[in-house]
Structure 1
Amino acid sequence: MLALIYYRQLKRWVDTGIFDAYPVLVERGLQPTTDKVYAADHYRAIADMLFDAVKWVKNQRTLDQFIILDDWLTEPEEKERLFSLTERLSAALTKEECQRLESWKTINWKG
């Protein structure tokens, strides 16, 4: 459900990373009560969480400690892929939110 909420909110800027998870669940022996089951890949899930945090967490230090990228993505090419995705989300952010996002990216880039 969460992936679908963000998908609807952000699909204008980012139409990637959301997939139909129904077949995956069935393949693993689960029987969803609906055939509409969506999920996000790691990059999209992190981008969605970051988008939300940049919008609602006004304190930069709190934001920097809230999402620590090395907890999920440790390789430089993985971070580049996420940063590319966040560039597209910048169109949905205010100037102040973009500045917080850029500051977060600088702190989390250890390539």
Structure 2
Amino acid sequence: MSNSQAINIDNIISAEEFDDLKVSELRVLLVLSMFKPGKWMPLHELRGDTEKTSSFSRSVTKLVSKNWIATSKDPHDARNKLVRLTVTGRNKLKKQLKPETRVYQGSYQPTDIPYTTKRRYLTGLAALNLPSNEGTGDWHFIETFKGSHGRNPGPFFVAGDNYADTYSVFGSEGIEDQTKSLEEAGVISNTKLFAANHYRAMADMIFQRLHDGNGIDSYVVDDWFPEKKNKRKLASMLDKLEPVLRTDQMRDLRAWRSKNDLTAA
């Protein structure tokens, strides 16, 4: 992203709702918009791509308060932070880009089966559509992994790539080798696929939405975890998630848990 300092804000922004933001803050949003949706990047790299002023930290704090960017601890280095553009920030920025420059927003559609590892695994709704002997999860395996009625497969999200990285919270818990089942279904060949089990996928989805500020009320646990024993397993995962949340995020999670009969395990 070494060319980002050459970005001419006036040439690409139709500034209306951004009047209260500084040029350096607009540049932060633009640089982050060039990455795949959900992609985290080191905060210090973003600082290097923007004007090096003493107000950088205040700019980041301001953008976080508006829920246009999100920050997180770097699971690989406790001294560093990660940053990404939220869905709210991406949509807000997209409205202000001039039509001829909307290439900055990209058109990333994760419809191909992704490369995965034990650390960078398939998660989110796609993982919830993988078969499970426990009877949990969703029931759209064919639509998700092969597509149907003109609908492309996916979308597919990989933790730490285009989705939140929760390895520092859960470690390898719930990450499974799904290669055999997907090979038998004719979805993949000559490659391995690691994916979250349904409990880890659900916990990842909740973490992602809480940090993006989009709310989790639309998630109904009974749709995917019908039995009490399943709910207890999910509750155990969520117990580990709470300590890394902000106070407001924890409050939202606990309200949702109460509504969905997910008391602490």
TM above 0.5, yes or no, is yes
Q: How does 1:42-81 map to 2 (within 5 A)?
A: 42-57=198-213, 63-64=216-217, 66-81=218-233
Q: Is the 8 A contact 2:221 2:260 kept in 1?
A: yes
Q: Distance in 2 between matches of 1:42 and 1:80?
A: 13
Residue type at the aligned position of 1:11 = Y
Structure 2, unaligned stretches of length 5 or more?
1-113, 115-121, 124-157
Residue type at the aligned position of 1:86 = L
Partner of 2:36: none
Q: 1:27 aligns with which of 184, 209, 213?
A: 184
Larger proportion of helix = 1
Q: 2:236 aligns with which of 53, 76, 84?
A: 84
Residue type at the aligned position of 1:27 = E
Structure 1, unaligned stretches of length 5 or more?
none
* Alpha-carbon shift at residue 8 of structure 1 (Å): 7.4
Backbone CA RMSD of aligned residues: 2.5
Q: 1:5 aligns with which of 159, 166, 177?
A: 159
Partner of 2:253: 101
Describe the SS at the equivalent of 1:12: helix
Q: Is the 8 A contact 2:182 2:188 kept in 1?
A: yes
Residue type at the aligned position of 2:165 = Q
| CA deviation map 1:46-100 (0-9, x unaligned) | 1111111222235xxx532x10111111222211110110111123211111111
Q: Distance in 1 between matches of 2:227 and 2:188?
A: 35
Kindly, what percent of the aligned residue pairs are identical? 30
| CA deviation map 1:1-31 (0-9, x unaligned) | 4434159711111121111222222233444
Q: Distance in 1 between matches of 2:244 and 2:262?
A: 26
Q: TM-score, normalised by structure 2?
A: 0.36
Q: Distance in 1 between matches of 2:261 and 2:229?
A: 11
Q: Is the 8 A contact 2:164 2:208 kept in 1?
A: no
Count matched residues.
Answer: 106
Which structure's relative contact order is higher, taking Cα pairs within 8 Å and 6+ residues apart?
Answer: 1
Describe the SS at the equivalent of 1:25: helix
**Which one has the largest radius of gyration?**
2
